[in-house]
Amino acid sequence: MASSNLPLKMEVDENNNDENVVNYNKLIYILPLDYKYEVQKCICERPQKVFECGNCHHYFRGRIRLQCKVHPQDVFLMDFQTCPYCFAPAGNAKESELTWSQIRKMEEAKLPNDSDDF
């Protein structure tokens, strides 16, 4: 392979002396002081959670639709944009402290028989 005539980054004299080293100027980019390098995490495969609508107070399980910074074009059709009961914006929903099994027990619980004759 033929040698190219491109300059080397450093030239050293024949005797390998450090005194005669020639350094070429390099382009140096200095980052601003407030620069923060952040690795964006993918949120596409995040787990489902239990939410309570702040408007109608119904519970629902799933994920609130968020845009992934790594995959901004991906859309998951089962993610909620609105409450499935009252169609309030999903921003009104808050994460519930109850688990889904606790909520299902409350919803499926039988009410006591009413003996009043009204």
Model pLDDT for residues 54-95, shown as the tens digit of each residue: 999 999 999 999 999 999 999 999 999 999 999 999 999 999
Kindly give the pairing relationship between strand 10-11 and strand 94-95: unpaired
Tokens coding 21: 């080293």
Question: In whole angstroms, what is the distance from residue 50 CA to residue 45 CA?
Answer: 16
pLDDT at 21 over 60: no
Q: What architecture (CATH level 2) is domain 49-108? A: Single Sheet (2.20)
- Locate the domains of the chain by residue range: 49-108
Contact between residue 100 and residue 61 where contact means Cβ atoms under 8 Å apart: yes
Q: How many CA atoms lie within 13 A of 56 on its CB side?
A: 12
